[in-house]
């Protein structure tokens, strides 16, 4: 396999699956499968170090244009759960009610723009931070996007009788949401010139997120898989995943001073923050480790996973003896997995290796290889 990002793919981490209707899905089989894996997940979560393997079954359509059809999304995700049982792993897959990343922006009057074959998009409605602060936001649950998301969760729960793990939707961090409200170039200036207003806005966004999380939790109950979205997740784990990609657009000190407090506020009620950024955040490792209550952090660790994936894997050795899980996504063949895990692993780490092997046989080899390296 060529060790570079394939920009001809719509989703480099996606897996093709066959849709399965809820009435055709074998619920007892998946319940037994997930329960067995979750016993190991519970042990892993309590350990100070160790390794777990997660063969992620990401259906690209569900995280793009397909999110507009909740029936189709569920059938595809049920197909993914069914297929996942063929692949040797330590962490089970879960359902996700993904409906774009404009959830919080909808509270400020934002709505989706749909272009055929693409994920929903938004345009910022404001020009300045003062305009945003002057606006009286709605509760997310009262917006079109929020209501559809809750309806999607309700539908998933009804069709599965609450028997399958399901995460919260992908609300994104306050820092990531800014670009859906007003231009980022103006925002970066505000971080320097109007930091108090930035903190005020982040706090408002945090409160909106917390309120909407509570509405989702009312529907999901004990079926909750944490931390959710793009992270390996389990009903035995805690924390809330937050995509925080704009973190690498500001300095580590700025991130800790202005952005991290709102993430901590949102995630603490659910067990603590779980950090994600696309690209190379090796220069932000020290800052990320200082996020209060951090449970897990996620990154891309091969060029095939992310065109901006880090080449400085050794920087992540700082996670050793921290008790914080590193969720390492590695698209690639067995050679790639061997090379990257060998560089990434040191004793004392608590590592989840996320694989995307094409066949059950290749996955079994990868599984055994990873556990051999991380002894």
**1 in any annotated domain:** no
Element (DSSP H or E) covering residue 205: helix 195-220
pLDDT in tens, 52-100: 999 999 999 999 999 999 999 999 999 999 999 999 999 999 999 999 9
CA distance linking residue 206 with residue 214, whole number of Å: 12
Which residues share a beta bridge with 273? 240
Where residue 260 sits, what CATH number does that domain have?
3.20.20.210
260-267 and 195-220 helices cross at what angle (nearest 10)? 20
Assign 333 a pLDDT band (cuts: 50, 70, 90).
very high
Q: How many domains does the chain have?
A: 1
**164 in any annotated domain:** yes
pLDDT in tens, 169-199: 998 999 999 999 999 999 999 999 999 999 9
Of the candidates 123, 262, 287, the residue with the CA atom closest to the CA atom of residue 206:
262
DSSP readout, 227-267? S-TTS--BTT---EEEE-GGGGGS-HHHIIIIIHHHHHHHH
Q: Is the per-residue pLDDT at 7 higher than 80?
A: no
> What's the domain range around 266?
22-373
DSSP readout, 265-297? HHHGGGTSEEEE-SS--GGGHHHHHTSTT--EE
CA distance linking residue 49 with residue 175, whole number of Å: 31
pLDDT, residue 2, reads 54
**355 in any annotated domain:** yes
This prediction has a pTM of 0.96
**60 in any annotated domain:** yes
**242 in any annotated domain:** yes
**16 in any annotated domain:** no
Of the candidates 171, 151, 161, the residue with the CA atom closest to the CA atom of residue 78:
161
Confirm if 25 and 85 have CB atoms less than 8 A apart.
no
CA distance linking residue 72 with residue 211, whole number of Å: 28
**10 in any annotated domain:** no
pLDDT in tens, 237-268: 999 999 999 999 999 999 999 999 999 999 99
**15 in any annotated domain:** no
């Amino acid at each position: 396999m060529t060790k570079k990002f394939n920009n001809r793919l719509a989703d480099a981490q996606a897996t093709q699956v066959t849709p399965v209707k809820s009435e055709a899905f074998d619920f007892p089989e998946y319940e037994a499968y997930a329960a067995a894996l979750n016993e190991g997940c519970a042990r892993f979560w309590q350990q100070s170090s160790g390794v777990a393997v997660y063969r992620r079954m990401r259906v690209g359509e569900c995280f793009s244009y397909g999110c507009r059809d909740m029936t189709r999304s569920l059938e595809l995700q049920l197909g993914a759960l069914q297929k996942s049982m063929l692949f040797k792993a330590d962490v089970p897959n879960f359902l996700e009610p993904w409906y774009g990343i404009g959830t919080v922006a909808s509270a400020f009057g934002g709505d989706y723009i749909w272009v055929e074959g693409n994920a929903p998009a938004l345009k910022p409605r404001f020009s300045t931070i003062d305009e945003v602060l002057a606006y009286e936001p709605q509760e997310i649950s009262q917006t079109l996007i929020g209501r559809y998301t809750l309806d999607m969760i309700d539908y998933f729960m009804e069709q599965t009788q609450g028997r399958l793990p399901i995460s919260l939707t992908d609300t994104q961090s306050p820092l990531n949401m800014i670009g859906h409200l007003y231009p980022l170039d103006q925002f970066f200036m505000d971080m320097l010139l109007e930091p108090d207003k930035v903190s005020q806005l982040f706090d408002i966004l945090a409160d909106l997120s917390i309120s909407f999380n509570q509405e989702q939790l009312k529907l999901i109950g004990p079926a909750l898989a944490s931390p959710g979205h793009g992270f390996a997740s389990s009903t035995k784990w805690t924390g809330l995943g937050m995509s925080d990609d704009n973190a690498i657009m500001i300095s580590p000190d700025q991130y800790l001073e202005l952005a991290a407090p709102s993430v901590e506020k949102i995630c603490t009620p659910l067990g603590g923050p779980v950090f994600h950024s696309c690209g190379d955040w090796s220069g932000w490792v020290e800052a990320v480790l200082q996020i209060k209550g951090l449970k897990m952090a996620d990154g891309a660790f091969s060029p095939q996973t992310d065109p901006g994936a880090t080449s400085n894997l050794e920087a992540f050795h700082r996670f050793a003896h921290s008790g914080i899980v590193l969720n390492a996504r590695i698209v690639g063949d067995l050679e790639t997995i061997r090379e990257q895990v060998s560089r990434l692993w040191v004793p004392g780490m608590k590592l989840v290796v996320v694989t995307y092997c094409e066949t059950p046989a290749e996955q079994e080899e990868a599984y055994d290889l990873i556990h051999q390296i991380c002894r």
